[in-house]
Amino acid sequence: MSNKLLDLRNISVCFDDAVILKNINLYICDGEFITLLGPSGCGKTTTLRIIAGFVNPDTGDVLFEGKRINNIPSHKREINTIFQKYALFPHLNVYENIAFGLRLKKMPEKEIKNTVEEMLSLVNLKGFGKRNINSLSGGQQQRVAIARALAVRPRVLLLDEPLGALDLKLRKDMQNELKSIQQRLGITFIYVTHDQEEALSMSDTVVVMDNGEIQQIGTPLDIYNEPKNAFVADFIGESNILDGKMLDDYRCFFSGKEFKCLDTGFEKNEPVDVVVRPEDVDVVPVEEGMVCGTVTNLTFKGVHYEIIVDIGNFKWMIQTTDYQPVGAHIGLKIDPDAIHVMKKSEYSGKFGDYSTFSDEIEEMSINDEEQE
């Protein structure tokens, strides 16, 4: 998994004065499952389209096995795509859709038949060959799209929000299936999504993007536990992000108190952002609390309660299994390993305060198409 297959170097793209991508540097290893994650308009789909060969970057190089492929048209690249709304050919049946790429390769008819059958069984659609595309359900169309792209044996498979149009349960099933297909075939998958859960559960590597820039590259664990800035911390999971200061190694200061932490390497008294995940906070009686506050809101979420606690006018979100009525005065205990300290960035102060609780609004805007 260590040899570089694809390499994007200093890629920038502008469109009508709007900067879509700013100096992207990214390499992708052979056999890796890598996910480009970010809100709509962050440039993730454009990055994918550059790799596929549908968009030419204004500056920068795209290398495939060390060779520059900027000027190689998409149809000559060993890279295939699964499109957002599948883009199946409506005038062809399932069999002919899957055979489409093979016929272009002038493969003998017998081999085509074998490959198509093999692909149909790979995606659990045996016996669907004669079916009309429009008579298939969303999930089945999705499988045909996967089979069609895999039939031509690509080195890299690009997936552009492939599960976006499916309902929740189907999406979970397809996530598992895609992951197992990838592991079985050992093909490099480059996956684009705005769904952080999808990204964390499927990928070897996650690339978090915003505003045309890469914010962080790392394993799902790294990204979740060691977010680089307030944007990543907020976009991946829930976070309370506080304005604080690093007093010394292992000692930080926020919410008017000094806390022990595990972070080092900051200057003395350097202003920092402090991240505390809502599930890492323990609710304790007031006397035992490191900080105290009043519950202002309570939502039952099934596994746990989500409560909003007002501590010195900063609203914290806490996930707890104990019921806490609105108005209750409670104390919070924060262990050193629950505290993550980040350097200040352009995102400081923009995220991580739950005084305006707006999950739904964000999700709605994410569903808009990214491009055009």
Partner 1 sequence: MKKNNTLAQRLLAAPHILWSVLFIVAPLAIVVFYAFTDSSFGFSFSNFSKLFNDGTVEVFTLSLAFAFCATCICLVVAYPLAYFISRTSRKTQNTLVMLSMLPMWMNFLLRTYALSFLLEDTGFLNNILASVGIDGVSLINTPGAVIFGMVYNFLPYMILPIHSVISKIDKNVIEAAEDLGCNRLRVIFRVIMPLSLPGIVSGITMVFVPSVSTFYISQQLGPTDFVLIGDVIETYFKSSAASSYHLGSAISLVLMVLIFICMAVMNHFSDDESTGGIIV
Partner 2 sequence: MKIGSKLYMALVFLLLYSPIVVLIVFSFNSSNSMAVFEGFSLKWYKELFNNDAAISALLNSLILAFSSAIISTILGTVAAVGIHKMRSKYVKSVVTNVTNIPMMNPDIVTGISMMLLFALCGTLIGFGILGFWTLLIAHITFNIPYVILSVMPKLKQMDPRLPEAAMDLGCTPLQAFFKVEFHEILPGIFSGLLMAFTLSLDDFVISYFCAGNTFQTLPIFIYSQTKKRVTPDMNALCAIIFITILVLLLVRNFATDRQLGKNSRRKARN
Question: Contact residues for partner 1 (CB under 8 A)?
Answer: 13-15, 20, 46, 53-56, 58, 73-74
Binding site partner of 55, from partner 1, partner 2, none, Cβ cut-off 5-8 A by kind: partner 1
* Interface residue with partner 2, options 73, 256, 265, 325 (CB under 8 A): 73
By CB under 8 A, tell whether 83 contacts partner 2.
Answer: yes
Q: Does 75 bind partner 2 (CB under 8 A)?
A: yes
The nearest distance, CB 82 to partner 1, in angstroms, is: 19
Binding-site partner at residue 105 among partner 1, partner 2, none, CB < 5 to 8 Å by type = partner 2
Judge contact between 79 and 155, C-beta under 8 A.
yes
CB contact at 8 A, 131 and 153 = no
Q: 3-state class of 156 per DSSP?
A: strand
Residue 333: CB minimum distance to partner 1, A = 51
User: How many CB atoms within 10 Å of residue 300?
Assistant: 9
Report the candidate in 321, 263, 325, 252 with the shortest Cα–Cα distance to residue 290.
Answer: 252
- What SS3 state is found at 130? coil
The footprint of partner 2 on this chain (CB under 8 A) covers a number of residues equal to: 25
Q: Which is nearer to partner 2, 143 or 315 (CB)?
A: 143
Q: Please say which residue, 149 or 187, places its beta carbon nearer to partner 2.
A: 149
Give the one entry of partner 2, partner 1, none that residue 292 binds, where binding means its C-beta sits below a cut-off of 5 to 8 angstroms depending on kind.
none
Distances (CA, A) of 96 to 79, 123, 124, 130, 131: 20, 16, 17, 9, 10
Rounded least distance, CB 48 to partner 2, Å? 11
**Residue 143 or 148 having the CB closest to partner 2:** 148
**x/- string (CB under 8 A) for partner 2, residues 35-54?**
-----------------x-x
Q: Please, which residue, 52 or 187, has the CB nearer to partner 2?
A: 52
Q: Decide if residue 70 touches partner 2 (CB under 8 A).
A: no
Q: Which does 14 bind (CB under 5 to 8 A by kind): partner 2, partner 1, none?
A: partner 1
357 touching partner 2, by CB under 8 A: no
Query: Would you count residue 135 as binding partner 2 (CB under 8 A)?
Result: yes
Mark the segment that binds partner 2 (CB under 8 A) among 20-28, 89-97, 337-345, 355-363: 89-97
14 sits near partner 2 (criterion: CB under 8 A): no
* CA gap 49, 196 in Å, rounded: 21
Q: Does 101 bind partner 2 (CB under 8 A)?
A: yes
HSE toward the beta carbon, residue 318, CA cutoff 13 A:
30
- In 3D space, the residue among 76, 81, 98, 89 whose CA is nearest the CA of residue 47 turns out to be 81
Taking the CA of residue 259 as centre, how many other CA atoms within 13 Å lie in the half-sphere pointing to its CB?
28
Write out the H or E segment, with its range, that includes residue 9. Answer: strand 4-15
Other C-beta atoms closer than 10 Å to the C-beta of 179 total 16
Of 300, 259, 293, 288, nearest to 276 by C-alpha is 259
How far apart are the C-alpha atoms of 132 and 308, rounded to whole Å?
52
148 binds partner 2 (CB under 8 A): yes
> At residue 9, what are phi and psi to the nearest 5 degrees?
-125, 120
With binding defined as CB under 8 A, does residue 105 bind partner 2?
Answer: yes
Closer residue to partner 1, CB minimum distance, 38 or 53: 53
Stretch near partner 2 under the rule CB under 8 A, chosen from 83-91, 235-243, 268-276, 287-295:
83-91
Min. distance of Cβ 371 from partner 1 in angstroms? 9
Element (H, E) at 251: strand 251-254
CA R_g for the chain: 24
CA separation for the pair 210, 198 (Å, rounded):
17
323 binds partner 2 (CB under 8 A): no
Rounded to 5°, angle at Cα 208 from 204 and 209: 145
Footprint of partner 2 (CB under 8 A)? 52, 54, 73-76, 79-81, 83-85, 87-91, 100-101, 104-105, 135, 148-149, 152
